[in-house]
Chain A
Amino acid sequence: MISIYDITKKFGKLEALRHINLVWQAGHAYGLIGPNGSGKTTLIKCILGLVIPGTGTIQVDGEPTSVSEQYRRKIGYMPQLGRYPDNMTVGQVIDMMKAIRPDTAVHDEDLLRAFELPTLSHKRMRTLSGGTRQKVSAALAFLFSPAILILDEPTAGLDPIASELLKEKIIHEKEKGKLIVITSHILSDLDELITDIVYLQEGRVHYQNTINHLKQHTGESRLNKAIAHIMRMPEVINVSSSTA
């Protein structure tokens, strides 16, 4: 569903992404992990068209992202730090998003209800706490039942209950055969959610494989230990994940 061919991005002298090649398929949940500044968010922003890559192409369902913005109909995005117009209320933001994407008639309001956002609909965005904003971001990402969900640090800042609700929703959507991309530093959260792992380091794909292969390969049963193992590996191992 998402194919990334030879993406390179420089910010001045800093090479944020170096020759990234990835193919992501529906029904998989990819955990995009790596140290701070390894290029995770930049890669996500390239897919969303917020950052224009220096070289290479990205295709979503075979459509190059540089040609038309319509591919974004298929994507729901939850940013790391959701920023919203301060003066608008929660209800206005949700109504505005519905008005901007009028082609989706039936909205998936599961999370909206689970997070009890309708009770806050008259509150202005500026008065919300960081965690409540994250709830709004999460609810908006799932609102249009998109085929692709891109979640940047989804559980950071959420309370344990909200975090569990969100994880249940992610698993539910994954089982429906959607493509899910998650970045997170909380590896214990990822363990239950993801099927595949993509490890970025210094703008390169350092490791890519299914979780099962990773655990076999490293001989560790827990994700954080397995990740610690690949972090110590000096050589770049890039195994295709096409065999799930």
Chain B
Amino acid sequence: MTQILKYVLYDLLRDKFALAYTLFLWLLTFALFQLDADAGKVVLSLMNVVLLVVPLVSIVFPVIHYFNSYEFMELMLVQPVHRGIVFFGQYLGVATSLVTAFLVGVGIPVMLFGAGMAGVSLLVSGSLLTLAFVSLAFLAAVYTPDKARAIGMALLFWIYFTLVYDGALLWVVYTFSDYPLEKITLVLIALNPIDLARIILLLQLDVSALMGYTGAFYQQFFGSALGLSVSAGVLVIWILIPLYFALRFFLMKDV
């Protein structure tokens, strides 16, 4: 396992993509801190970018990497190595490099400028979000036979979770606005990892007061330790379920 992980990481380091991604995040964070002195506001603007860019990179890059390492996997699969180890070697390699890129790129400036609890929750939810989208990327890559279609499927996932889902959610809330929807929307939010991360962050930033009664209700739920651990737990489920299905399919796949 460590041997395979070593070669996957070596390959990723040569790729330079992770390095470019780190640099981009670092410059972005640094620039935003230069624009505004209020760390809370910076984290808020950072959140909006992070919630778009991190899922996009975390879903497209692993798919490309999976197909570029196909030769390597073929070579490993005829050796006395379990398929699960080949799979997790790839997953952990990509996940490690993307999470490290995020933590270095965003984390170092955030810690430097002292963004406090909001900064920490940005780092935690950004990392969990990265892992969830890497899982979804592996699901797309394992199920589809060729690279182009897998990238297409990955982009569809991303568009669905960033745009389509929110549109549908707004429509539901608007149409049924006469009914008490707090608990239902809470469940609906949990069905989208990006929304989940956004709500966790917004409520750390005390902007929930702008959201009226619903905001107060969410503050009550997500603001509590229980609510925070439940939502982090749901994000972890978002990592594990696609990963489980991807692994199950990979174990039975014809190479």
Q: Which residues of A are interface residues toward B (Cβ below 8 A)?
A: 11, 45, 48-52, 69-73, 75, 77, 79, 83-88, 96-97, 99-101
Contacts and interface: CB of A to CB of B under 8 A. Distances in A.
A50 B254 contact: yes
B4 interface: yes
Interface stretch (B66-74, B183-191, B216-224): B66-74
A100 B78 contact: no
Interface residues of B, number: 23
A188 to B, nearest CB: 28
Contact of A85 (B71, B77, B79, B83): B71
Chief secondary structure at chain B's binding surface: helix
A100 B81 contact: yes
Contacts of A99: 3
B7 interface: yes
Contacts of B3: 96, 99-100
Given A45-B255, A52-B252, A99-B3, A85 B72 contact: yes
A96 B71 CA distance: 14
Interface of B: 3-4, 7, 11, 14, 69-72, 74-83, 252-255
Contact of B71 (A51, A84, A100): A84
B76 A86 contact: no
Nearest to A137: B75
Contacts of B75: 83-85, 97
A50 B11 contact: no
A84 B71 CA distance: 5
Contacts of A45: 254-255
Contact of A72 (B14, B69, B74, B80): B80
Nearest to B76: A100
A69 B80 contact: yes
13 contacts: A52-B253, A69-B81, A69-B82, A72-B81, A75-B78, A79-B78, A85-B72, A85-B75, A86-B71, A87-B14, A88-B11, A100-B81, A101-B80
A69 B7 contact: no
B77 A51 contact: no
B160 to A, nearest CB: 29
